[in-house]
């Protein structure tokens, strides 16, 4: 939920730092005031829904929440109704929950919406002893930020949390950033209460703890990599430290480059949805070229969708493509057959 209390005397960094909107501070103040007053603004149309403004804001005011609320109000992206409805129905939680035999005293891996498409990424010693849940009953729905339907997330978040409660899950390892971001950021700022005693765990925290416990088994990879942040990573920037710590443990150098950390570029997956196809290829090209120019030999992803969007292009440019969990598996001596 957007908090306007610090916005009238700030430097509107949420807009002036935007990599997609060329806007000076004076214009940014005017447009921000419009949006605070519930009015339309060209900013809403120019927004590519990369969530970066939430990280740019020094006051933790969540300006992206304001944008996405107004984008829905004004139907900013003018997405065809049939396409919109199909997307909303595609990820609808199941009406009935199929309970599994889960030990509430042990962590549960949430495979989210990827149990089939990314089945191979959840194999090996990292995952073989974990109990898990998966599917639409546990899917976070944060993707609806990209099509200006925040109301769908607000409606479904309590349903997902109720499913977690019914299943008796106390500790959940989130395979995707967005799941972790739902529980630790979205729910908190929207006053949606988590089940009592429930603890979400980011996949990277789990990987780091596993590596610390099995440090003697690590084979240093001696590799230079570029890390591709996901959009939802902007809601949880504290996770960056686990990326750096994991890289140190497995002998990987995260190259210093232009489009990384706070200055990261979106993978450009959502651009076609709201008519910005002309930005997609140039964005990916300069991002990947930046990786190459700074000596990276591989591009490392946190988000399977980012990898699906950029992976083949990364490989055509001569870089290897991995999820970070796959890189950890390599460091533990596993062979990947994909």
Which among 52, 173, 63 has a CA at the least distance from the CA of 107? 173
Question: What does the alpha-carbon distance between residue 237 and residue 261 come to, in Å, rounded to a whole number?
Answer: 9
Contact 107, 130 (CB under 8 A): yes
Token pair belonging to 151: 């109301």
The pTM of the full predicted model, rounded to 2 decimals, is 0.95
- Calculate the alpha carbon distances from 245 to 112, 170, 249 in Å: 25, 26, 6
Please check whether the domain covering 217-331 is classified as CATH 3.40.109.10: no
pLDDT per residue as tens, the chain (338 positions): 888 888 877 889 999 999 999 999 999 999 999 999 999 999 999 999 999 999 999 999 999 999 999 999 999 999 989 989 999 999 999 888 999 999 999 999 999 988 999 999 999 999 999 999 999 999 999 999 999 999 999 999 999 999 999 999 999 999 999 999 999 999 999 999 999 999 999 999 999 999 999 999 999 999 999 999 999 999 999 999 999 999 999 999 999 999 999 999 999 998 888 788 889 999 999 999 999 999 999 999 999 999 999 999 999 999 999 999 999 999 999 999 87
Range 196-228 burial, b when 16+ CB lie within 10 A, else e:
eeeebbbbbbbbbebbeeeeeebeebebebbbb
**Residue corresponding to tokens 């416990």:** 213
Check residue 76 and give its pLDDT.
95
Question: What does the alpha-carbon distance between residue 308 and residue 311 come to, in Å, rounded to a whole number?
Answer: 6
Mark out the alpha helices in the chain (DSSP H runs): 13-16, 25-36, 42-46, 52-56, 63-73, 81-90, 150-167, 177-181, 187-189, 203-213, 240-250, 277-293, 304-316, 324-331
Question: What does the alpha-carbon distance between residue 210 and residue 311 come to, in Å, rounded to a whole number?
Answer: 26
Q: 297 CB contacts (<8 Å, ≥6 apart)?
A: 223, 224, 225, 319, 320
Instruction: Tell me how far the alpha carbon of residue 243 is from its chain's centroid.
Output: 14
CATH 1.20.1050 in the chain, residue ranges: 83-207
Architecture of domain 83-207: Up-down Bundle (1.20)
Token pair belonging to 31: 């447009």
Coil vs helix vs strand at 305: helix
Token pair belonging to 5: 């209390």
Contact 141, 156 (CB under 8 A): yes
Question: What does the alpha-carbon distance between residue 92 and residue 90 come to, in Å, rounded to a whole number?
Answer: 6
Relative to beta strand 223-228, strand 199-202 is unpaired
Question: What does the alpha-carbon distance between residue 4 and residue 2 come to, in Å, rounded to a whole number?
Answer: 6
Check residue 1 and give its pLDDT.
85
DSSP 329: H
Token pair belonging to 311: 């992976």
CATH 3.40.50.1860 in the chain, residue ranges: 217-331
């Amino acid at each position: 939920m957007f908090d306007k209390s610090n916005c009238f005397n700030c430097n509107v960094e949420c807009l002036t730092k935007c990599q997609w909107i060329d806007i000076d501070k004076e214009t940014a103040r005017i447009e921000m005031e419009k949006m605070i007053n519930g009015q339309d603004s060209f900013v809403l149309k120019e927004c590519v829904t990369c969530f970066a403004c939430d990280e740019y804001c020094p006051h933790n005011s969540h300006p992206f929440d304001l944008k996405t609320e107004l984008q829905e109000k004004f139907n900013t992206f003018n997405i065809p109704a049939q396409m919109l409805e199909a997307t909303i129905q595609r990820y609808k939680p199941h009406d009935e929950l199929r309970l599994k035999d889960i030990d509430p005293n042990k962590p549960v891996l949430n495979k989210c919406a990827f149990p089939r498409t990314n089945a191979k990424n959840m194999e090996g010693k990292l995952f073989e002893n974990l109990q898990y849940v998966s599917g639409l009953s546990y899917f976070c729905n944060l993707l609806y930020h990209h099509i200006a339907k925040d109301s769908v997330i607000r409606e479904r978040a309590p349903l997902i949390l109720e499913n977690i409660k019914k299943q008796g899950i106390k500790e959940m390892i989130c395979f995707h950033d967005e799941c972790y971001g739902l529980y630790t950021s979205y729910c908190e700022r929207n006053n949606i209460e988590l089940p009592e005693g429930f603890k979400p765990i980011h996949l990277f925290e789990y990987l780091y703890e596993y590596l610390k416990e099995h440090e003697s088994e690590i084979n240093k990879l001696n590799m230079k990599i570029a890390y591709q942040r996901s959009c939802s990573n902007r809601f949880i920037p504290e996770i960056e430290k686990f990326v750096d710590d994991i890289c140190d443990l497995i002998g990987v150098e995260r190259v210093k480059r232009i489009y990384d950390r706070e200055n990261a570029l979106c993978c450009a997956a959502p651009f076609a949805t709201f008519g910005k196809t002309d930005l997609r290829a140039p964005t990916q090209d300069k991002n990947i070229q930046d990786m190459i120019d700074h000596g990276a030999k591989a591009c490392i992803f946190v988000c399977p969708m980012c990898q699906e969007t950029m992976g083949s292009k990364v490989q055509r440019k001569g870089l290897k493509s991995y999820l970070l969990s796959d890189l950890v598996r390599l460091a533990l001596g596993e062979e990947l057959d994909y």
